[in-house]
Structure 1
Amino acid sequence: MNTTLTTTPDPDPDATPTTRIQAHYNSIKKLGCWTEARRFEVRVRRGSVVLDLRSPHIEDGDIEIDVALDHSMVKILVPEDADVDHWDLRYTGRGRVKDWTGHNGEGRRVRITGELRHAEIRVHRGGIATLSAMFSREYVKDVRRAHKDGTFPTVDDPTRVA
């Protein structure tokens, strides 16, 4: 099993750093306030990745996600009013983007590019994103930490101050 998470600075010092996530035959969940980057490269082969993009720590501007998925699933947790643009995705075999709300808002733009090979991207917004985060081991750990510290959990709602 191979799992990698790296942040690499671009040669241009004014450019935002790119966070690379790689999962082969594995599952990765990045929930809560885990990054400040706006650019992501996601490579998954026969695995799954959950990306929480609801954090207020993510810099202002569009979020760009470049994917290369092979027999995999990527779940993206976004705010209710996010504008998800997947026009530039290439599909090989069966692949699709599942966005059950069916409408984009006027909020932050999330642009998804790359290629899907027998894979899918699931977009969870608002309350469904909260439930997706809550049904995880990371949430249980966060609740225990919050109880011990006398604070509030932040995995379910990253906009809440710890």
Structure 2
Amino acid sequence: MTSPRKNAMARIAEGDRDSAVRRVREAYAEERISHEEMDERLDRVLASTTHGELTAALDLLPVEDPGGTETIAAAGGRIKRRGVWQVPRRLTVQSAFGRVHLNLSRARFEHPVTDIELNLGTGNAVIVVPRDAVVDVTGLATGWKDLRYTPRQPSRPDAPRFRLSGAMGYGRLRIRHAWR
């Protein structure tokens, strides 16, 4: 985001603003700030034009938990994860050609929110989430075929949350909830 070396009066780039919005939303999703505080901070971030204003909007925001980041990539073929596996805070899946199957139903999560970025060219993808998971697909762009997903109501307040982002080219993404 902003480094100490940057001039406080220097104009910010869209990437800086996007990063700040993401940071405020994550703090809210992880219940480190209230809904009212999130609204106030987002208004300030979106109105910011300089690094000084952006820094002030993020001032005293709880420290961001970086968690882990993992990238799964393949030029062609299949990408498949299933069974018991540790899911990082941020997971990036990249495939030019081929199918992707992520089964998160038995996976372990250290963080309440998991960001999954999909960058898929050609091929279908299936993501199986835990039964009571909350899935946000607003950051995902689909190209050729529409997304197949029916949201469910979480059965418990501490249900795992997933935010999907990225882009899919020629293929369909299907998200389903596990039976148990």
- Structure 2 length as normaliser, TM-score? 0.56
Q: Runs of at least 4 residues of structure 1 off by over 4 A?
A: none
Correspondence for 1:155: none
Question: Deviations 1:90-134 (Å, cap 9, x if unpaired)?
Answer: 233x132212xx22322321110011112221112122xx7xxxx
Higher helix share: 2
Whose radius of gyration is greater, 1 or 2? 2
User: Where does the alignment leave 5 or more consecutive residues of structure 1 unmatched?
Assistant: 1-11, 131-162
Hey, what's the Cα distance between the residues in 2 that align with 1:13 and 1:80?
A: 28
The amino acid that maps onto 2:73 is Q
Hey, what's the Cα distance between the residues in 2 that align with 1:91 and 1:31?
A: 24
- Structure 1 length as normaliser, TM-score? 0.62
Correspondence for 2:153 among 105, 113, 117: 105
Once the two structures are TM-superposed, the CA of residue 23 in structure 1 deviates from its matched residue by 1.9
Correspondence for 1:126: 178
Higher relative contact order (CA 8 A, sep 6+): 1
Once the two structures are TM-superposed, the CA of residue 57 in structure 1 deviates from its matched residue by 2.4
Correspondence for 2:101: 50
| CA separation of 1:73 and 1:60: change in aligned 2, threshold 3 A | same
Q: Retained in 1: the 8 A contact 2:114–2:163?
A: yes
Once the two structures are TM-superposed, the CA of residue 84 in structure 1 deviates from its matched residue by 1.3
Work out the number of aligned pairs and report it: 114
Question: Deviations 1:55-112 (Å, cap 9, x if unpaired)?
Answer: 35221311111111111222111112111111111233x132212xx22322321110
Matched, 1:117 2:172: no
CA RMSD of the aligned region, Å?
Answer: 2.2
Correspondence for 1:95 among 145, 167, 172: 145
Correspondence for 1:69: 120
